Structure 1
Amino acid sequence: MVKILIILLTGTVAGFLNTVAAGGTLIAIPILIFLGLPSAVANGTNRIALILESIVGVTNFKRKGYFDSKFGLILGIPAVIGSIIGARIAIELPDHVFNKIFALIMILVIGFIVWDSKRKVKESKDIITKKQKIISGILFFFVGIYGGVIQAGIGFIIILALTVTTDFSLTKINSLKVFVVAMYIIPSLLVFVVNGKVEWLLGLTLALGNGIGAYIGSNFAVNKGDKYIKVILIIAVAIMAVKLIIS
């Protein structure tokens, strides 16, 4: 019962962070590993939660008018292809290799959070050129590969990629982020399911928490409290990265 409550709380925090900014997976997967799941199973189990979280987030963003479905598909389709390739790589990684790679990524993400803490996007422009669409589509194939392998910190990568290739507002970027994750996470989860790398009870519990967190997060002002969220995330990620490195 205690384990279930921990997972539910973890999911709520992760869902909120993933929707408002990114980085929830950096908390969810380490907690699953520390509760006894092999890294590949923790990786697969977390994807159940991400599906529900993404659906809730996209629905809320769409209702508020911050969603571009056509451009979302341009990003999502290549990401799906890349994620299948990435997931096949992920299930073959030994636990100790995954943990070390994951810890390194966590440290790199801390660097990104610090560097990005004062970032301001340009004035929102809904118009996007054909060239920008092509570049974004190619870029998101590689985003999908990364998401299929690790998933952790993918939100930061998507935010950075869309900041570079578009002039969209952070709110619109976040709406596209959760949509792309929703698209590629389903086929990548199937790869884990087929290979028996999912713990369903914990995954569904985490999903419930993520859904609650995503609902709260998508109703939260995008930049309100952002500074404090990032400080807490940096501390939590740093502690977990150290534990994974020495484990």
Structure 2
Amino acid sequence: MILFIIFGVGLVAGFVDAIAGGGGLIMLPGLLFSGLPVGSAIATNKLCGTFGALTSSLKFAQAKQIDWRACIVMGIPAVIGAYIGSSSIDKLPNDWAEPLVIALMVVITLFVVFNPGFGMKKSGEGEKMRSDHAASKNTTLKSATLKSTELSSNLSPNSSPNPSSNPSPNLSPKRWIFGIAAGGVIGFHDGFFGPGTGIFLVFSLLSLWSLDFLRGTGTTKVINLMTNVTALITFAAAGHIDYSKGIWGALGVGIGSLVGATCATRQGAKIIKPIFITVTIALIGKLALDYLNKQF
């Protein structure tokens, strides 16, 4: 019976995580409820998360909603940072981590809420819209070409009729520097503390790379997969993973992630953004309660 509960919890966790992250908030309590000790539950949750990240990454890749350059620029430093962070758990005090993460997430939430256009303008949905209207465009190709010619004659040489049509901006030295730094810092946070990693990645990708929520989420899944595999190897080598329960959880998370990623790629930023805000607020509440319980 408990295995079916883990599977069900995994379905929900995978669905939410594929759209906005935060699946660990759902999966980890389910594993603890099954009787696993904290260390084993965390390691087993990483197994589930890896399956979910793999499934959703494949779906986002199929929908062409991943910025592979950002994955390299931020992903490699994130893996290195995650390794350093996990190696520093017993060497550095982590009392400062919780309040800092809570404060940063509050700032991110307020910024996203009070900037309605953030993450919405440069949408990968443009490809889908162009595909959906391909037939109508073909029937009016002659007139459209004429209008385009007339428009281009009125534009200056340095102007562009659709500056947001390129879903992946050109890499500048500034993006390289900030992308590498952000990847390393977020990766360190993932290995050292953990909660909020996906949220920080999405926000960084939207801010530094001008991606929308859809493409930013897809790119985040690949980076998450890279860091998860690194941690999973470490946990597996230490023998902390409970495979009997982890496989059921991973199966549920994998299926849930597939459904969630499918929903995200079809609905785009309009569904991802509100769920992102909801998950962020929920994570802030959980971290704040945990922190207050430790203080009093």
Class of the TM-score when normalised by the shorter of the 2 chains = 0.7 to 0.9
Q: 1:82 to 1:164 in 2, by over 3 A?
A: same
The whole-number CA distance in structure 2 between the counterparts of 1:99 and 1:10 is 30
For residues 31-81 of structure 1, give each alpha carbon's deviation from its aligned partner in whole angstroms, at most 9, with x where no partner exists: 323443333222211111111111111111111111222331222111111
5 Å-filtered alignment, 1:106-117, equals 109=105, 112-113=108-109, 116-117=112-113
Which position in structure 2 is the counterpart of 1:143?
186
Matched to 1:187, the amino acid is T
- Preserved contact between residue 179 and residue 208 of structure 2 (Cα < 8 Å): yes
Q: Post-superposition shift, 1:225?
A: 7.4
The whole-number CA distance in structure 2 between the counterparts of 1:199 and 1:177 is 26
Q: Post-superposition shift, 1:144?
A: 0.9
Matched to 2:260, the amino acid is G
5 Å-filtered alignment, 1:147-186, equals 147-186=190-229
Q: Post-superposition shift, 1:23?
A: 1.2
- Preserved contact between residue 108 and residue 203 of structure 2 (Cα < 8 Å): no
5 Å-filtered alignment, 1:1-247, equals 1=1, 3-90=2-89, 92=90, 109=105, 112-113=108-109, 116-117=112-113, 119=115, 120-121=118-119, 122-123=121-122, 124=164, 125=166, 126-131=168-173, 132-220=175-263, 221-222=267-268, 223-224=270-271, 227=274, 230-231=277-278, 234=281, 238=285, 242=289, 246=293
Does 72-81 or 101-110 show the bigger shift?
A: 101-110
- Preserved contact between residue 72 and residue 179 of structure 1 (Cα < 8 Å): yes
Matched to 2:188, the amino acid is I
4+ aligned runs moved over 4 Å, structure 1: 97-115, 228-237, 243-247
Q: Give the secondary structure class of the aligned counterpart of 2:211.
A: coil
Q: 1:202 to 1:241 in 2, by over 3 A?
A: farther
Please tell me whether Structure 1 or Structure 2 has the larger radius of gyration of its CA atoms. Answer: 2
- Preserved contact between residue 19 and residue 276 of structure 2 (Cα < 8 Å): no
Q: Post-superposition shift, 1:243?
A: 6.8
How many residues align? The count is 242
Q: Post-superposition shift, 1:86?
A: 2.0
Q: Give the secondary structure class of the aligned counterpart of 2:170.
A: coil
For residues 191-239 of structure 1, give each alpha carbon's deviation from its aligned partner in whole angstroms, at most 9, with x where no partner exists: 2222232222222211111111111111112333753675477468746
- Unaligned stretches of 5+ residues in structure 2: 123-163
Give the alignment's Cα RMSD to 1 decimal.
3.1
Does 121-130 or 136-145 show the bigger shift?
A: 121-130
Matched to 1:133, the amino acid is W
Q: Post-superposition shift, 1:20?
A: 0.7
Q: Post-superposition shift, 1:158?
A: 0.5
The whole-number CA distance in structure 1 between the counterparts of 2:97 and 2:28 is 13
Q: 1:239 to 1:74 in 2, by over 3 A?
A: closer
Counting aligned pairs with the same residue, the percent is: 24
Does 23-32 or 77-86 show the bigger shift?
A: 23-32
Matched to 1:20, the amino acid is I
Does 191-200 or 122-131 show the bigger shift?
A: 122-131
Q: Post-superposition shift, 1:185?
A: 0.9
Matched to 1:15, the amino acid is G
The whole-number CA distance in structure 1 between the counterparts of 2:276 and 2:185 is 28
Give the alignment's TM-score, normalised by structure 1.
Answer: 0.82
The whole-number CA distance in structure 2 between the counterparts of 1:75 and 1:129 is 12
The whole-number CA distance in structure 2 between the counterparts of 1:170 and 1:199 is 34
